[in-house]
Structure 1
Amino acid sequence: MSNSPVILLVDDEPSVCDSIQAYLEYNGDLIVKIANNAKEAWKLLETTIPDIIISDVMMPEIDGYQFLERIRHNNRLQTIPLIFLTARGMTADRIKGYNAGCDAYLPKPFDPEELEAIVKSFLERRKINEKIGNNSVKLEEIAQEIKGLKEQLGQQKTHLTVIPPSIKIDLTPREKSVLDLVAEGLMNKEIAARLNTSVRNVEKYVSRLFGKTETNSRTELVRFALKHGLTQY
């Protein structure tokens, strides 16, 4: 089964549909599904959630604005980027389109290369957002794991013997600050804000801490630091 991004094209002009489909599918990395009007499009949307929707504005019965409004009020579909194609390219028309919630507005006739560039830009943005979302989830999980570890170690404190490190570990003041905040369960973005520095710098300090403590994860780092008295948090 193909994992290629799916584009839903809604337009009542067959020649426009054929040319756009041929152009976007030329390299084989996109799939274009065609609907000749909003009703056909909605039937497709009942079973398929496309990555991007390209829609004409001037269509019979249900125009592009009505179609877009319905999409934006549907929880399953409301975040899908929508590109308007229309013969009406006046500034007032573009403003109306953006106010209605479209993500891009191309007046006909348009350059297919520009349309392709917009499509690929939206797809790349989605990849970035998904990566950020996945990283946030992972960091939240790590924060919860660290919190649980600290509670566990706190309960065992009366039985815990602090073992001095076999090798003296010298931490710079900034490394110590980062370590303390990692032990608090803060994520890199939060640590950067607390220390008034960049996320990249925080990542650099965390990497140094991994190296100095010979650990491979934030949880291992915090466990090591707590057991060896490198942090009190």
Structure 2
Amino acid sequence: MSDSATILLVDDEPSVRESVQAYLEYSGDLTVKVASNATDAWRILEKITPDVIISDIMMPEVDGYQFLEKLRDDPRFQGIPVIFLTARGMTSDRIKGYNSGCDAYLPKPFDPEELEAIVKNLLERRKTNEKTATDSAKLEEIAQEIRELKQQLGQQQNTLTTTPSPIKIDLTPREQSVLDLVAEGLMNKEIAARLETSVRNVEKYVSRLFSKTGTNSRTELVRFALKHGLTE
């Protein structure tokens, strides 16, 4: 793992805090902040937002379940993966942990190597989810631009004269279908579903359309296609 991540470890046993912190920080990829109870953990959370939280369940005053409930009720920390550490190994306790919103459950005593593997797996999963969300947001923004562009051009039809394309562009039936759907403001995943093909194939067709029309973005492609009568 190339990027450094911050872990918040909450446990009332000093030996657990020391050993886990030393083990996870050994490789240099992880920075571990420690707290002996939920109250101290919350003070740390007011200053930093960790990438993963590891929490004991059996703690004085505020237990792990109550701590997790407070985390999930706070919009700032709702998406942070939480790993429960506990001496309890009963199935009912694990079910309660998962129902409370924890992402992994590791009964004590545990192998630090297993804990590290769980942490890194959750970090990779979170990174993937964030990238997917970012990509989806960008595509939706592009789709919205295309819809607004078509609306603007539609309003200008009385004064805008459509001119023939200065060059002859030969599109295959599938390229034409993809172009028409791009012009509708659909995203690659939606186009793939409509045409019963893969997202990868749609990406290839869009890339070919960019090349054939000399455009570099979906908005430019739609503007060019509408101007030269390649789509409606």
Q: TM-score, normalised by structure 2?
A: 0.93
Secondary structure of 1:34's match?
strand
What is residue 34 of structure 1 aligned with on the other side? 34
Letter aligned with residue 225 of structure 2: A
1:120 aligns with 2:120: yes
In 1: Cα distance, 2:57 partner to 2:152 partner:
60
What is residue 195 of structure 1 aligned with on the other side? 195
Return the offset for 1:94.
1.6
What is residue 7 of structure 2 aligned with on the other side? 7
What is residue 153 of structure 2 aligned with on the other side? 153
**Map 1:123-134 → 2, pairs under 5 A:** 123-134=123-134
Secondary structure of 1:158's match?
coil
In 1: Cα distance, 2:231 partner to 2:55 partner:
57
Letter aligned with residue 72 of structure 1: R
Return the offset for 1:46.
2.1
Letter aligned with residue 224 of structure 1: F
Letter aligned with residue 113 of structure 1: E
Letter aligned with residue 141 of structure 2: E
1:99 aligns with 2:91: no
Letter aligned with residue 83 of structure 1: I
Letter aligned with residue 162 of structure 2: V
What is residue 20 of structure 2 aligned with on the other side? 20
Question: 1:84-107, CA deviations, whole angstroms, 9 ceiling, x for partnerless residues?
Answer: 011112323222211222110011
4+ residue stretches of structure 1 with deviation over 4 A? none
In 1: Cα distance, 2:138 partner to 2:181 partner:
17
Question: 1:50-105, CA deviations, whole angstroms, 9 ceiling, x for partnerless residues?
Answer: 11110111111221112112212222222211100111123232222112221100
What is residue 90 of structure 1 aligned with on the other side? 90
In 1: Cα distance, 2:222 partner to 2:190 partner:
17
Letter aligned with residue 79 of structure 2: T
Letter aligned with residue 137 of structure 2: V
In 2: Cα distance, 1:6 partner to 1:115 partner:
15
Question: 1:138-185, CA deviations, whole angstroms, 9 ceiling, x for partnerless residues?
Answer: 112211221222222223323333333333222122111110110011
In 2: Cα distance, 1:118 partner to 1:192 partner:
34
Deviates more, 1:173-182 or 1:147-156: 147-156
Letter aligned with residue 231 of structure 1: T
What is residue 81 of structure 1 aligned with on the other side? 81
What is residue 50 of structure 1 aligned with on the other side? 50
In 1: Cα distance, 2:63 partner to 2:220 partner:
58
In 2: Cα distance, 1:127 partner to 1:167 partner:
44
**Map 1:177-196 → 2, pairs under 5 A:** 177-196=177-196
Deviates more, 1:196-205 or 1:210-219: 196-205
What is residue 223 of structure 1 aligned with on the other side? 223
In 1: Cα distance, 2:85 partner to 2:205 partner:
49
What is residue 71 of structure 2 aligned with on the other side? 71
In 1: Cα distance, 2:138 partner to 2:92 partner:
44
In 1: Cα distance, 2:212 partner to 2:113 partner:
51
Report percent identity of matched pairs: 77
Letter aligned with residue 34 of structure 1: V
In 2: Cα distance, 1:52 partner to 1:229 partner:
53
Secondary structure of 1:62's match?
coil
In 2: Cα distance, 1:126 partner to 1:7 partner:
14
